[in-house]
Amino acid sequence: MDGDDIDERASLYRLFSSLFVKEPDEELLVSMKSMFKMAFDDTEREIREDFGYLFLGHAGHLQPYESLYNYALGDRPRLWGTATGEVQGLYHSAGVMIDEEIDLIPDHVSAEFLFMSYLIENGLREEQRRFLDDHLFAWIPAYCDEMQKHARTTFYREVAGLLKEFVSSDSQELDDSGGE
């Protein structure tokens, strides 16, 4: 992969990260519509309401935490589950600390995507492959399927499709390149 591909991958992970941590503003919606040729016609208000419906608080229908979707047989889905400790350990071993001012559990999808962008930007190919296989690819495709089912807006259904395709193609790309 050349430098442009690396920059683009890292940027896409940061972009997807931003979609789960706060409601998208008009500028981001216009940018995404143009960049991805999205067909949504939802209003900004409808999208903000869907963000709350899907992701916020205990009432959120699709809380974006890996430990709720990726857990060992015999375990149960729960916040601060096994996956949380695993990703927190990976962050620590890479020298990455989540700022205490950021109110995210370590296995929140936004934190995981930011970590992946860090691995990409620092050329840590083996760590990218392992993190993608053991964490992102282990739950993001199924999470996106659920997001498509529960989203009330075309915007979030399209985001789910784009994200699933992106994580799947990124996994394939890393496999095809042999981690080089």
> What is the CATH number for 126?
1.10.3480.10
Q: Residue 152's domain spans which residues?
A: 3-176
pLDDT per residue as tens digits for the range 117-130: 999 999 999 999 99
Bridge partners of 65, per DSSP, are 108
pLDDT per residue as tens digits for the range 143-166: 999 999 999 999 999 999 999 999
Rounded to the nearest 10 degrees, what angle do helices 44-55 and 26-36 cross at?
90
Instruction: Decide if pLDDT at 75 tops 90.
Output: no
What's the pLDDT score for residue 69? 84
Number of compact structural domains in the chain? 1
Residue from 50, 59, 71 nearest 142 by CA: 71
Q: What is the arithmetic mean of pLDDT over 19-37?
A: 94
Percent of the chain at pLDDT above 70? 87
